[in-house]
Structure formats: structure tokens, C-alpha cells
Amino acid sequence: MAFRSLFIAHAPDADKEIHRSVIDTGMYQLFSVVVKNQEEAVEASADFVKRKNIDSILLCPGFRHSDVAEIAKTVGSNIAVAVARGDGPGSKVSQEALKREGYFTKRGKD
């Protein structure tokens, strides 16, 4: 049986049914899905736990503490929930790239 992990990221133009992938080494399965918002993240978390027996969920740095708590509550205490965080300089570089690509507008990049 493989260890199964789900990575969730945000993008304003994401389609959670299309923007997903899986890497399977045999002993490790890494699922990924890109969502538009917190509601979709919660839905995806619950769905993957139910259908794929996920052991852990890794969230991109864009998730707020309250978002993480909501996902953890939704999936229960038997699923590890973690957040990928960078250092100050790296976060600044990422923030500028996201800004350049239109992540902070409603429409995203034209």
C-alpha cells in the first residue's frame, strides 16, 4: 500500500476538474489539484480523502491559518495537514511573480 499525499494550490483561472495530476512511484502517490478558492479546496480535500484514502494534505503558501484549520476540521484528525512556507526573501520573489501574473485581480492575467 502506498503513502498518499494531496497537494493543493490556488490559481484564479483554475478548473479543479482539469488542473490535476498524479505521480505514482508504487510506494508513494502524490496527487495535485489547483483550485480557484477556499470552497473548492475544502471540497477537493474531502473528495480525495474519501475516494483516494489520502494520508496527508500539503497546502500552498497562499492558504491562511483559518483556511488550514477549516480543511483540517473537514478531513478529521487522522489526516496530516501541512502548509508549504518559504523564507522572507523567497516569499517576496514569489509575491512579485504572482502579482505580475495577475493573481490578485479577479480575472487573472489577460
* Tens-place pLDDT, residues 38-54: 999 999 999 999 999 99
Cα(27)–Cα(5) distance, rounded to whole angstroms? 11
67-102 pLDDT, tens digit each: 999 999 999 999 999 999 888 888 889 888 888 888
CATH placement of domain 3-85: 3.40.50.2300
Q: Which residue has the cell 514569489?
A: 94
3-39 pLDDT, tens digit each: 999 999 999 999 999 999 999 999 999 999 999 999 9
Residue spans per domain, the chain: 3-85
3-state secondary structure of 107: coil
Four-residue CA torsion sign, 39, 22, 15, 104: positive
The C-alpha cell that represents 6 in the structure block? 494531496
Q: Is the pTM of this model over 0.85?
A: yes
The C-alpha cell that represents 99 in the structure block? 502579482
